[in-house]
Structure 1
Amino acid sequence: MTHQTPTPRLSTTGLSGRTALITGAGLGIGRATALRFAQEGARLILCDIDADRLEETRNLVAPTGADMLIRQGDVTDEMVVEKLAMDARAFGLPDILVNNVGGGRSGRIWDLSVQDGDDTMRISLRSMFLCTRAFLPSMIAAGYGRVVCLSSGARNGTVWNALHMGACAYSTAKAGVIGFVRDLAIELGDSGVTINAVAPGPIDTELAGAFLRNIEAQGHAYSPFRTVPMRRLGTPREVADAILYLASENASYVTGTTLDVAGGR
């Protein structure tokens, strides 16, 4: 019996002409996602709290010829998000929302102030709630939308915990992202809008890369170079590709799920 090689199936992301809003676009995963989406033909609304970093992202994306709206602001502020929504109406409301903003102070619970805990929840969860709440109605009205939220492998405990440094507030916030995504997937039902999460493991970003390499240099048993089966850090581009998948036509039947990008960890 002769076996014929199947004809390769042409795949398209369907991002060409779509408008994507990416928060935290000034560095790392947000910047890589902006560049990746631009390469696929998307129009971009890029937001970050740091104007200089945002301008650097604009300069990196510009050679792709992507149409961009750049807005500096703190998306944990309701008024800032309302203004962003007004500006987006003039530019073109997003078909895709990437809730990338996150962060907070690490530390054991007895070393963290109440303000530290509040700030972590505000950055990682309030920003997501405000932006999703602002842009979901237009997606539902259009019968189409993709929302991708950044969680973290930290939801299951982090290298900070293993090093006895503590990350309870951050881990709690990132676990909250999973609940947010699961519940909204049910609420959105057959609206044509999907919502999913991406959970990066140890990624070689501007903020985390040096710290993670220092752990390895110290020969620590919990170094990601030892505990990650693939024995390396991930790249922002690898996370951006996962975000791209969930934002694409290729993930049309995927909602309420979390995609780990963590080298098998």
Structure 2
Amino acid sequence: MTIKKIEGKDMGRVQDRVAVVTGAANGLGKAIAMRLAEEGARLALGDIEAAGLERTAASLTAIGTETVTVTGDLTEEEPAQHLIQTAVDRFGQLDILVNNVGGSRNAKIWEMTAENWDFVLRLNLRSTFLCTHHAVPHMMQQRSGKIVCISSGAREGTPWTAYYQGGAAYSAAKAGVHGFIRDVALELAEYSINVNAVAPGPIDTERAGENLRHLNETADYSPNRMTPLGRLGQPLEVANAVLFLVSDEAAYITGHTMAVAGGR
């Protein structure tokens, strides 16, 4: 692939493109935002956690990235619409959407409440729908765009979670992300909009890392033992996969869920 140059510098793989990243206050969302920024993107960030979101924005500003933030619950329509419109108003276009909002309330199936089941499906699926719903008309108008949604290896069941905590709601939600991108990729193909997912395995994030390391030390069905590469993944490794899917290198890939799970 030819690397373009501007004023004597190599251009990044997403140079001057406008990217919206949800769940950007920490963990995978922060890593994805940083990686896209390193490759030249301009960023609009959304999260419900104001302090973490501002820390991410400060890190981006420190490396010279144009950044705007929207704090709010992206499972609600008004904040989701506001995030997308803010990106368009600030930068004049929208090229990339990364739907990263997610999480779980784990419990065995016989102990899980309907309230917690609904919470997990809403958290993982509704924000993905709402942000995509509001982003797509802008991408259709310009007849280009890249959408990446964060699924999970849990979409096929996670052994250590199932054995020790229970995670049916999270698995169902992340399987839903896979189905979502398969259909939306077909709907948007005629507009040259690529829609894919990344499915991380056990990743050493701020929130999940401590529990995963504890399982590695104490459990028979541990993440490291059940992952062929025998280690936890790093947020940067997920961010690199997202970067690939939103770059021109992945122009002929759509409707695909890419596992970043150490072979599991």
Matched residue, 1:182: 182
1:259 paired to 2:258: yes
Q: Which runs of 5+ in 2 are unaligned?
A: 4-10
Q: Does 1:21 align with 2:43?
A: no
CA displacement 1:184-228 (0-9 Å, x = unmatched): 11111221100000000000000110001001121x221112111
Following TM superposition, by how much is the alpha carbon of 1:13 offset from its aligned partner in structure 2, in angstroms? 5.9
Structure 1 residue 35: deviation in Å?
Answer: 0.6
Matched, 1:229 2:228: yes
Which letter does structure 2 place at the counterpart of 1:120?
A: V
Gap runs ≥5 in structure 1 = 1-8
Structure 2 SS opposite 1:45: strand
8 Å contact from structure 1 (residues 106, 160) kept in 2: no
SS in 2 for 1:242: helix
Is the CA contact (8 Å cut-off) linking 1:229 and 1:263 kept in structure 2? Answer: yes
**Aligned: 1:212 with 2:189:** no
**Paired amino acid for 2:259:** D
For 2:161 and 2:202, how far apart are their aligned partners in 1? 14
Q: Which amino acid aligns with 1:97?
A: L
Alignment of 1:1-265 (within 5 A): 10=2, 14-92=13-91, 93-218=93-218, 220-265=219-264
- Residues 162 and 222, structure 1, Cα contact 8 Å, conserved in 2: no
**How much is the aligned-residue C-alpha RMSD, in angstroms?**
1.4
- Superposition deviation, residue 232 in structure 1: 0.7
Q: Counterpart amino acid of 1:202? A: P
With normalisation by structure 2, the TM-score equals 0.93
How far did 1:68 drift?
Answer: 0.4
Q: What is the SS of the residue equivalent to 2:191?
A: coil
What's the % identity of the aligned pairs? 48
Q: Distance in 2 between matches of 1:186 and 1:134?
A: 18
TM-fit CA distance, 1:161: 4.0
Q: TM-score w.r.t. structure 1 length?
A: 0.93
Comparing 152-161 with 232-241, which one deviates more in the overlay?
A: 152-161
Where 1:103 maps in the other structure, the secondary structure is coil
**Aligned-partner SS, 1:190:** helix
Q: Measure, in 2, the Cα distance between the counterparts of 1:30 and 1:14.
A: 19
Write the distance in 2 (CA, Å) between the matches of 1:109 and 1:227. 22
In structure 2, the partner of 1:5 is none
Aligned-partner Cα distance in 2 for 1:235–1:97: 22
- Whichever residue aligns with residue 224 of structure 2, its letter is F
Letter of the 1:108 counterpart: K
8 Å contact from structure 2 (residues 196, 256) kept in 1:
yes
Taking a change above 3 Å as real, the CA distance of residues 162 and 173 of structure 1, as seen in their structure-2 partners, is closer
> Does the CA contact (< 8 Å) of 2:160 and 2:221 recur in 1?
no
Counterpart AA for 2:168: C
- 2:8 matched to which residue of 1? none
For residue 4 of structure 1, what is the aligned residue in structure 2? none
- Equivalents in 1 of 2:177, 2:194: separation in Å? 15
Aligned length: 256
Q: How far has the Cα of 1:150 moved from its partner?
A: 0.3
1:133 Cα deviation after fit: 0.3
Distance 1:13 1:198 in 2: 21
Aligned-residue offset at 1:110: 2.1
Compare CA radii of gyration and give the structure with the larger one.
Answer: 1
- Deviation per residue, 1:91-119 (Å, 9 max, x gap): 12321000000112011122111110111
